[in-house]
Amino acid sequence: MPLQRSLSEISDLDELKNNLDDCGRCSLSGSRTNLVFGNGDPNASLMFVGEAPGFYEDQKGEPFVGAAGKLLDQLLKQILGLNRSNVYIANVLKCRPPENRDPKPEEISACKPFMLRQIEIVDPLIVVTLGNFSTRLLLDRTVFISKIHGEPIIINNRRVFPVYHPAAALYATKTKELLIEDFKKLGDLLIEADRDIEREQNSKENKGEEQLDLF
């Protein structure tokens, strides 16, 4: 299915979504009920990237609407004081793998360019990768979430913050505790990222004033 325009020319989430409607770039197109593009604040500072839609997401066409989504909502609200409408949420794959099996490499390759462009368009301060698949996609290497969760990594001048997938924490107390700890760190990281932006803006304004003083 050819793109109407090259991905790098697309600077709007709606247009990117339109390019995925009826997508048949991998075999998951044959089993999906709905394509799950992602939703939330298109200008969010915080973007979450999960793995793939599950049963309820496939039914509703929205990301994280099942039990894992409820846990994510709780973490957002109780630790960060945020709602869904304050963040942007998407998945590596836009279509549900049958029986919620792991994504296959060829499916990730087919969907990856859209995920990466989605991040570029939202342009968040922090991308929170939920679980192994989105972390590996963003880091472009094989890593294990158990080894690298809770530590920010700079990729292409953007903070990437890997945490456990909320689904993995639903029935595992220890994993849930780690996820809660990481969300607390995420709150600090968000404050730090906001301060960096403020400092950058102040420095630009000061330079502008200095240049005006020369005249």
Q: How far is CA 95 from CA 53, 110, 149, 195, in A?
A: 6, 11, 26, 37
Per CB under 6 A, does 94 bind ligand SF4? yes
If DSSP codes are grouped into helix, strand and coil, which group holds residue 11? coil
Per CB under 6 A, does 20 bind ligand SF4? yes
Per CB under 6 A, does 29 bind ligand SF4? yes
Of 46, 111, 178, 190, which one interacts with ligand SF4 (CB under 6 A)?
111
Q: How far is CA 139 from CA 134, 142, 155, 188, in A?
A: 8, 8, 7, 22
The stretch among 56-64, 67-75, 91-99, 126-134 that binds ligand SF4 (CB under 6 A) is: 91-99
Q: Determine the Cα–Cα distance for residues 187 and 117; give it in Å rounded to an integer.
A: 25
End-to-end CA distance of the chain: 56
54-58-61 Cα angle (round to 5) = 125
Give the nearest distance from C-beta 34 to ligand SF4 in angstroms. 10
Query: Which residue number, 49 or 76, has a Cβ lying nearer to ligand SF4?
Result: 49
Per CB under 6 A, does 96 bind ligand SF4? no
Q: Determine the Cα–Cα distance for residues 49 and 69; give it in Å rounded to an integer.
A: 12
The stretch among 9-17, 54-62, 107-115, 156-164 that binds ligand SF4 (CB under 6 A) is: 107-115
Of 7, 17, 25, 61, which one interacts with ligand SF4 (CB under 6 A)?
25
Site residues for ligand SF4, window 150-169 (CB under 6 A)?
none
Q: Determine the Cα–Cα distance for residues 168 and 124; give it in Å rounded to an integer.
A: 25
Contact positions vs ligand SF4 (CB under 6 A): 20, 23, 25-26, 28-29, 35, 93-95, 107, 110-111
